[in-house]
C-alpha cells in the first residue's frame, strides 16, 4: 500500500466533507476515477475501465475489465447517502446477468464490497465496508488495494482474497450467533479460566485476591441478572458498524501468533506474543511505554514501568516474569492468557491501532499454554 494513495484518500475525504462533490457525476469523475487511477487502472482506456457499461437493457456505472471488454469488477456509483438497499438490488441484478466476481457499491464516501456468488441476502454477501471520512486512511487504502488493485484483479489474486474474506466473515457471523449461549454457560459455571482472570484483575486493582467461592458467586449473580434483563428488551437504535476484512480463522491447535498489518510471526507461547506486540509498538513510538504506563495500571502495581520492582510490588517473581522494552521500560509478562489478550487490546488503544485489524493475535485461552511461571 503506497503512502501516496493514503494521502489521496485523505484529500478526497476533505473534499467530501467540504461538499465539493455535489452530484453522482461529480463523485464519479472526481472520486471514483481518481481512486481507480491510484490503483493502477488505465482510466482513459474505455475497453478496460468501461463507463456506462451496458448489461442487457441496463447500464452499470463502471465495469473494470480483464481482458478488455470482460468485466471482473462492477462499480455502481450513487449520490452521497444513497448507497443503500435499493442500490444493492440494482447492482446484484447487473452481476446476475454478467457473472462478475466482485461488486462495489459506493457514494464516494462509503464503499461496500460484495461477493455476488455468496449465499444469503445482499447484506450477507458483503464482506467488507469502509468510510473515507471515518476510517483511517491507511486502512481504507489497504482495503481498496486488496480488492481493486489493477494487477491483483488481472492475476486473480483480488478474487481469491475476496472469496477467502467472505468465507471468513461468514464463519465469524455463524460463531457470533452462539455468543450468548456460550457466555451464559461460562458465567453460570463459572469457567475456571474466567474465574481466574476475574480474581487476578481484582487482585491487580486492590492488592487482595478474592476468595474463589465469593468471586464465583458474584459471577453467577451477574449471569442471572443478564438472563433476567433479556426478558425485558429495550428499544434502542443501533449504530451501523463498518466491517473490515476478517482474517482467516485460526485453528484451536495452531501455535500462538502475532500479525501486524499483514505480516505474521508464530511463537512458542502466549508470553512471547505479548512481548512481541509491546516490542513492536515501543519501537515504532518512543512515547508508547510512557502513555501505556499512565493510562493502564492497577492500584498497587504497574504492567509497564521504568523499574522492574514496580511490576510486582511485594511479590517475588523470577526474571522470566518481566521483559525489558526499548527505552529502558519493563513489561510484566506473568498473567493468564486472557489477561495477555486484554493488555494487548489496551496497547492497541494507546497506539491508535485497531485490534483485530492492524494487530491480530492468537493466544490459546482454553489452557494456560504460554503463561510465564
Q: How confident is the model at residue 1 (pLDDT cuts 50, 70, 90)?
A: low
Q: How far apart are CA 117 and CA 125, in angstroms?
A: 8
pLDDT score, position 370: 37
pLDDT score, position 163: 92
- Output 3 or 238, whichever has higher pLDDT: 3
Give the CA-trace dihedral at 238, 239, 244, 248, to 10 degrees: -10
C-alpha grid cell for residue 165?
474474506
Average pLDDT, the chain: 83
Q: Distance from CA of residue 334 to its chain's centroid?
A: 27
Q: How far apart are CA 109 and CA 83, in angstroms?
A: 10
The percent of residues above 70 in pLDDT, for the chain, comes to 85
C-alpha grid cell for residue 226?
443478564
Q: Residue 219: is its pLDDT beyond 60? A: yes
Question: Hey, which residues does 111 pair with through a beta bridge?
Answer: 106, 130
Q: Where in the chain is the domain with CATH 3.90.1570.30?
A: 3-173
Q: How far apart are CA 119 and CA 259, in angstroms?
A: 29
Work out the average pLDDT over 284-303: 87
Question: Hey, which residues does 104 pair with through a beta bridge?
Answer: 75, 113
pLDDT score, position 243: 39
Per-residue pLDDT tens digits for 121-132: 777 888 899 999
Work out the average pLDDT over 145-150: 96
Q: How confident is the model at residue 289 (pLDDT cuts 50, 70, 90)?
A: very high
Per-residue pLDDT tens digits for 326-340: 989 999 998 888 889
CATH topology for the 3-173 domain:
tt1808, chain A (3.90.1570)
Work out the average pLDDT over 299-318: 80
Q: How confident is the model at residue 229 (pLDDT cuts 50, 70, 90)?
A: low
Q: Residue 249: is its pLDDT beyond 90? A: no
Q: What 8-state DSSP symbol labels residue 355?
A: B
Task: State the architecture of 244-373 in CATH terms.
Answer: Up-down Bundle (1.20)
Q: Where in the chain is the domain with CATH 1.20.1380.10?
A: 244-373
Cβ neighbour number for residue 365 with a 10 Å cutoff = 19
Q: How far apart are CA 151 and CA 289, in angstroms?
A: 40
Give the CA count within 13 Å in the CB-facing half-sphere of 363.
29
DSSP β-ladder status, 102-106 and 71-77: parallel
Q: How confident is the model at residue 244 (pLDDT cuts 50, 70, 90)?
A: very low
Q: How confident is the model at residue 15 (pLDDT cuts 50, 70, 90)?
A: very high
What is this structure's pTM? 0.54
Amino acid at each position: 500500500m503506497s503512502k501516496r494513495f493514503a494521502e489521496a484518500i485523505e484529500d478526497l475525504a476533505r473534499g467530501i466533507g467540504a461538499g465539493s462533490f455535489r452530484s453522482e457525476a461529480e463523485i464519479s469523475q472526481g472520486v471514483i476515477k481518481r481512486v481507480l487511477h491510484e490503483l493502477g487502472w488505465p482510466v482513459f482506456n474505455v475497453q478496460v475501465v468501461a463507463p456506462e457499461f451496458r448489461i442487457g437493457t441496463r447500464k452499470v456505472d463502471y465495469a473494470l475489465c480483464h481482458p478488455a471488454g470482460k468485466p471482473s469488477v462492477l462499480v455502481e456509483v450513487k449520490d452521497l447517502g444513497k448507497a443503500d438497499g435499493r442500490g444493492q438490488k440494482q447492482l446484484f441484478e447487473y452481476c446476475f446477468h454478467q457473472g462478475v466476481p466482485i461488486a462495489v457499491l459506493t457514494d464516494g464516501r462509503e464503499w461496500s464490497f460484495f461477493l455476488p456468488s455468496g449465499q444469503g441476502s445482499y447484506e450477507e454477501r458483503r464482506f467488507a465496508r469502509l468510510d473515507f471520512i471515518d476510517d483511517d486512511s491507511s486502512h481504507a487504502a489497504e482495503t481498496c488495494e486488496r480488492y481493486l488493485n489493477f494487477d491483483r484483479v488481472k492475476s486473480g489474486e483480488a478474487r481469491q482474497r475476496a472469496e477467502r474474506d467472505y468465507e471468513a466473515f461468514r464463519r465469524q457471523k455463524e460463531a457470533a450467533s452462539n455468543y450468548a449461549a456460550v457466555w451464559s454457560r461460562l458465567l453460570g459455571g463459572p469457567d475456571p479460566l474466567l474465574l481466574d482472570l476475574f480474581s487476578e484483575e481484582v487482585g491487580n486493582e486492590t492488592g487482595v485476591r478474592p476468595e474463589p467461592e465469593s468471586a464465583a458467586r458474584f459471577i453467577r449473580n451477574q449471569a442471572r441478572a443478564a438472563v433476567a434483563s433479556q426478558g425485558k428488551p429495550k428499544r434502542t437504535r443501533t449504530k451501523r458498524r463498518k466491517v473490515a476484512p476478517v482474517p482467516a480463522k485460526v485453528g484451536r491447535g495452531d501455535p500462538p501468533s502475532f500479525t501486524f498489518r499483514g505480516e505474521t510471526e508464530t511463537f512458542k507461547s502466549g508470553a512471547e506474543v505479548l512481548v512481541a506486540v509491546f516490542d513492536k509498538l515501543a519501537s515504532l513510538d518512543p512515547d508508547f511505554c510512557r502513555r501505556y504506563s499512565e493510562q493502564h495500571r492497577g492500584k498497587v502495581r504497574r504492567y509497564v514501568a521504568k523499574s522492574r520492582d514496580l511490576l510486582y510490588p511485594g511479590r517475588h517473581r523470577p526474571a522470566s516474569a518481566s521483559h525489558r522494552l526499548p527505552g529502558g521500560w519493563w513489561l510484566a509478562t506473568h498473567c493468564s492468557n486472557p489477561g495477555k489478550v486484554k493488555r494487548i487490546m489496551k496497547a492497541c488503544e494507546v497506539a491508535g491501532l485497531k485490534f483485530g485489524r492492524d494487530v491480530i493475535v492468537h493466544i490459546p485461552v482454553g489452557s494456560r499454554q504460554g503463561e510465564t511461571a
